[in-house]
Structure 1
Amino acid sequence: MPRPRPQHPPARSEISEQTTLGHTYVRSLMRSQLRTALTALAALVLLVGPLPLLLALPAPEAAVWAVLGVGVHPVIWAVAHWYVRRAERNERDFTGLVER
């Protein structure tokens, strides 16, 4: 006779009971989310960080506003978009691990 399936998958019960294994699962998710956040921060520092040096160069005021208005916002939007997609994927992967 086949064994009945438990109502909650083992990983989920490990997390809810706060066992060492459950703690390891949650820490794994937290580490992957931290790694994603630090990668996004590094990208912003590398792409937007040198902007004050660029703006210190003698240039017409219209060029400065063009760099600030047209150049920076798409970069910030792209990094933010990547970050959200990556964070959601991390959570989906974690949920898939817990649900199995």
Structure 2
Amino acid sequence: MSTPDAPRRIRVTSPRTSAARRSSSHTGTREIDEQTRVGEVYMHSLIQSQLRLALAVILGAAVMLGGLPLLFWLVPATRRFSVVGLPLPWLLLGVVVYPVVYVAARVYTRKAERIEAEFTEFVGRK
């Protein structure tokens, strides 16, 4: 029992008690920052994913754009065909090339951003 003359107990707390506490477990970003073996594996997987994407986009664009001269060589009638007074080879190589390159760039950018977002989410969870 407490006596009426005894001092009251006062609870002293930090003003930052509601602040988020840092996790003591190793996170993926910490592994990467400390250049551990696990961090190297994470970075290697990211680089491999980006390389695979770049090669796929380059290969797709090269097949589409490089296939046009092959088409003109294998099918001679396409060399003499005209659309709105313009020869088909000029139209395809001078006009169609730009939208193909633009679409390839957009596809690459969107997928690269998705790969990086998934990597960031994965590494942040670990």
TM-score, length-normalised on structure 1? 0.82
Structure (1 or 2) with the greater helix fraction: 1
Q: Any unmatched runs of 5+ in structure 2?
A: 1-20
Between 55-64 and 85-94, the greater mean CA deviation after superposition: 55-64
2:47 corresponding residue in structure 1: 30
Q: Residues 86-97 of structure 1: matches in 2 within 5 Å?
A: 86-97=111-122
Q: How many matched pairs?
A: 97
RMSD: 2.2
1:69 corresponding residue in structure 2: 94
Q: Say which SS state the counterpart of residue 23 (structure 2) adopts.
A: coil
Q: 1:59 aligns with which of 62, 80, 88?
A: 80
Percentage identity across aligned positions? 40
Structure of greater relative contact order (alpha carbons < 8 Å, 6+ residues apart)? 1
TM-score, length-normalised on structure 2? 0.67
Report the structure number with the largest CA radius of gyration. Answer: 2
User: Residue type of the partner of 1:88?
Assistant: E
